Structures are given as C-alpha cells and as structure tokens.
C-alpha cells in the first residue's frame, strides 16, 4: 500500500525505520510462520500430528525460504496472504517426504494466523511506544523540576490569565504521559491474546483429541501470549482499544505541539523548537524560523485520530466471520502504529532540545503592567471591603491602566478606596508582582516530579 509513510522522502518524518519494519511484508510473513511453527510444535508434543512432521514444519518456517513474488501473485488471486504462505510451506515440507506437509496448518483457519500475527505486531509496536513514553517522561521530569519556579503567563482563551511556572505547565504534561503509561500496562493483558479457534472458533477440527484447549493454551505460551477465554474472530474490542489508546497518546502530543507553536510566535518568543542550521527556514523569507516537528505532530495526530475512528466501524462484524469490516484493520493499523511512533519521536526530539527563554516569559508577564496579578489584588482587597466590590474596582482600574498605558500599582496607590483601607504602596507592589502569585505551582510541580512518587 502506498501512503506517505512509505515515500522515500517522507518516511523518516511520518514514520520510523523501527515501526515500519514491524509492519512490513517480511515481518508479517515472519509472524505467520511463527504461528505455524508454534502450532506444529505443540501439536507434535500432544501427538496430534507426527513428530517428524512437526520437526520439518518448524525447520521450514523460515521467512527467507518464502518466495515473496509468488506470495504477492497468489495473494492477489486468492484474496488473502495466509493460504499462499501455507501452500509454499506444504510444498517445502513435502519435498522432505511426500505427504508430510499435509500436517501444516492443522485445525487452524486463515483468521487465526492473521489475528495472531497482528497481535504480535501490535506487541512490538507497544514496546516502541512504551520506550518512547519512558524517554519522554524522563526528560519532562527533569525539565519540570528545573523550571518549577520559572514564572510565565497562563493563557485562558488565548489571553493572559494569571501567573504560573513553566515547570507547572510541563508537570501537567508529565502527569498525562504517566497516565498513558498506566493505561498501556492495563491494556496489554487484554491485547496480547492468541487467536486459535478454527473455522467458527469452536476448535471443532481437533475437539475429538480431548486436548484442544490445552493445545490452544500451549500455543499461546509458545508465542509469549495468553489464551483467550473464548474465540474473538468478530469481537474486535481488543484492536479498537489499542487504536483508541494510540489516538489518545497522539492527542496529548498534539496539545503539546500546539502550545509550542503558540509560544514560538514572534510576538511571544518564550520557547523554540531545537535549532540547527536551516531547520524551519523559508524559501523566500530569510528571517523565518518555522516550527517543524510541531507541525508534523499536529498533522499526524489528526490523521491517527481519524484512522482510529475507522476501527469502531471494524467492530461491526457479521456473525462469526465477517465480510469486509475485518479488512479495515489491515488498512489503518499500519498507518496508526507507524505514525504514533513518529509522533512520539518528534515529541521527544522537541523536548530534548527545547529552547526556553525565561527572560521573554518575564517580559510578557510585564506587558499588562501588573494587570495579570489583578486577581491577587482583588483577593487581598476583598478581605477589606468585599470580593465583588473589589472585583468591580479592579476591573475599572485595569481598563484605565490599559487605556492610559500606566502600571496598575500606580492607579491603585492613588485610589481613594484603597487609601482609606490603609493599604500601603509597598503592599500593592508585592500584590502586583506576578512572581508572587504563582499559587502552588512549585509545590505541585515537585509533587509530580518526586522520584519517590509511585
């Protein structure tokens, strides 16, 4: 399938070599063969198929022995890639001894092999995601602690709200990624389950052996998976759940990317993506340094979320084996998985080299000439003559400060109500200093970043 993740020019941006390898034809076929090898091994152990057959099948389950061009031709003709692989495997084992290859794929069906291979590919993808989440949280933890007391403006409706610390902003992101780590740990036991039930999931083909469920259990162990409580050919919640998780992770990265883009604006300039020569340069405006990784994260996250929605359609499958919805997974899972890992990679790269400008943060805090701390003043004056009265007074003074381009503290110190309340200029200056009104930014940041925190 030709997507942007396959293009030579873009595959290092919208994918990664490690994730692409997982979803390649070779890896998928490798896992088909791993299933067939494990099945033959277990069935030979239980005496369901001859020991010699089991041994030779295992020997021939080598992806380098598969003719990939033949596999492509036969898949186009048959419609599924499993049977062409099985036919090649049967042929190779029959070359050792005529008829021995007929024990290949004993009691299995195409979807058993396909679903199990998909689970193994998802397992490998989750390993990549888990490592990325660990790397990101490690960087965020140190970054947040470093800037636990670095003052900046919080934004509400894209307007300056109240002061916070930059570490507080990062700690919230850290806490979100830590929740994703917990979610992934909870999902994996539900996801990493073998599929082996035969035509309609009842194991009818080997039910007369008396050990059918034991074969299923041992097959799962051979593959490092768990046995299902019952067949799940057309119950696709496992797949949809992991796809939804990837969409959530992508969404978190996109929220971070959006904040970076906004903070990178020329008029704000509080952070920048990592710099190296010509990164984000314009073809016609030499002065520009555009966000790049954040842009890619935004685009890919939106795509992952849209593709993830298709997995909900894939859940609506007819009866015991479906006619079409299952194949939706074949189309969207490779893109969801490769782009999710790429998103995490870009996020890690931004964090690893993020340029932080505390001086710009302080400069922007001073734009309103103390008005950003108006809530602090309101709460102090509210104790003296009521919160609503104080609110209306500060509101009027903030409007006047903006019109006349004057510091709020000057207007407060000349206000009759404030003077009558006995408030000194020194007190007003303390209240109007944004750095004195960051609430528990530092304490909350240190709580989240505490190494002893579970």
Selection from 298, 291, 295 nearest residue 254 by Cα: 298
Q: For residue 383, what are the CA distances in angstroms to 30, 315, 380, 387, 409?
A: 72, 58, 6, 7, 18
- Cβ distance 264 to 273 under 8 Å? yes
Separation CA 420–CA 445 (nearest Å): 39
Considering 45, 172, 321, 357, which one is annotated as catalytic? 321
Write b or e for each residue in 429-438: b if 16 or more Cβ atoms lie within 10 A of its Cβ, otherwise e.
ebbbbbeebb
Q: What is the DSSP letter of 61?
A: -
Contact 195, 223 (CB under 8 A): no
Q: In this structure, what is the dihedral angle of CA atoms 415, 419, 421, 423, given to the nearest 10 degrees?
A: 100
What phi and psi values does residue 96 have, to the nearest 5 degrees? -75, -45
CB 197 within 8 A of CB 231: yes
**Are β-strands 159-165 and 151-156 bridged in parallel, bridged antiparallel, or unpaired?**
antiparallel
Q: How far apart are CA 217 and CA 220, in angstroms?
A: 5
Report the sign of the C-alpha dihedral through residues 198, 204, 205, 210, in that order.
positive
Radius of gyration of the CA atoms of the chain, in A: 30
Residue 330 CB contacts under 8 Å (≥ 6 apart), including other chains: none
171-175: Cβ within 8 A, 24+ apart: 171/140, 171/144, 171/444, 171/445, 171/448, 171/449, 172/448, 173/140, 173/252, 173/255, 173/256, 174/137, 174/140, 174/141, 174/144, 174/448, 174/449, 175/448
Q: Does residue 321 carry a catalytic annotation?
A: yes
Distances (CA, A) of 162 to 11, 348, 404: 42, 28, 22
Q: Assess contact for 100 and 52: CB atoms under 8 A.
A: yes
Give dist(CA 329, CA 324) in Å, integer: 10
Catalytic residue selected from 282, 383, 387, 453: 282
What are the C-alpha distances in Å from 40 to residues 93, 195, 206, 319, 344? Answer: 12, 15, 13, 29, 38
Catalytic residue numbers? 282, 321
């Amino acid at each position: 399938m030709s997507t942007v993740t396959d293009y030579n020019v873009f595959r290092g941006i919208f994918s990664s070599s490690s994730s692409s390898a997982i979803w390649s034809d070779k890896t998928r076929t490798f896992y088909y063969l791993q299933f067939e090898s494990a099945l033959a091994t277990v069935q030979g152990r239980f005496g369901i198929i001859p020991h010699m057959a089991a041994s030779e099948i295992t020997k021939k389950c080598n992806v380098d022995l598969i003719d990939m061009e033949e596999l492509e031709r036969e898949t186009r003709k048959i419609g599924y890639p499993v049977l062409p692989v099985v036919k090649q495997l049967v042929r190779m084992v029959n070359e050792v001894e005529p008829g021995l290859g007929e024990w290949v794929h004993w009691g299995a069906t195409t979807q058993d092999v396909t679903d199990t291979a998909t689970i193994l590919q998802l397992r490998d993808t989750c390993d990549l995601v888990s490592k990325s989440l660990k790397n990101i949280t490690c960087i965020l933890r140190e970054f947040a602690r470093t800037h636990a007391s670095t003052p900046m403006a919080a934004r509400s409706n894209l307007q300056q709200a109240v002061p916070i610390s930059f570490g507080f902003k990062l700690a919230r992101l850290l806490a979100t990624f830590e929740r994703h780590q917990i979610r992934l740990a909870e999902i994996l036991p539900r996801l990493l389950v073998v599929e082996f039930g035969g035509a309609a999931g009842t194991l009818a083909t080997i039910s007369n052996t008396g050990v059918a469920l034991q074969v299923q259990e041992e097959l799962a162990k051979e593959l490092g998976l768990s046995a299902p409580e019952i067949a799940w050919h057309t119950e696709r919640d496992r797949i949809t759940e992991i796809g939804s998780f990837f969409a959530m992770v992508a969404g978190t990265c996109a929220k971070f990317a959006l904040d970076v883009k906004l903070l990178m604006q020329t008029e704000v300039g509080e952070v920048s993506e990592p710099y190296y020569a010509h990164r984000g340069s314009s073809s016609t405006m030499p002065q520009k340094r555009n966000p790049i990784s954040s842009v890619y994260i935004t685009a890919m996250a939106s795509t992952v979320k849209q593709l993830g929605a298709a997995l909900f359609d894939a859940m609506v499958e007819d009866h015991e084996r479906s006619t079409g919805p299952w194949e939706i997974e074949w189309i969207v899972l490779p893109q969801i998985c490769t782009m999710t890992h790429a998103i995490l990679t870009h996020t890690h790269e931004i964090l690893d080299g993020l340029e932080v400008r505390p001086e710009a943060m302080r400069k922007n805090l001073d734009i309103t000439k103390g008005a950003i701390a108006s809530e602090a003043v309101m709460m102090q004056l509210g104790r003296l003559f009521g919160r609503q009265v104080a609110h209306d007074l500060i509101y009027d003074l903030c409007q006047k400060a903006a019109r006349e381009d004057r510091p709020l503290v000057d207007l407060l110190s000349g206000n009759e109500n404030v003077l009558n309340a006995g408030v000194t200029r020194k007190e007003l200056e303390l209240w109007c200093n944004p750095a004195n009104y960051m609430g528990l930014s530092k304490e909350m940041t240190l709580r989240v970043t505490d190494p002893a925190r579970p």
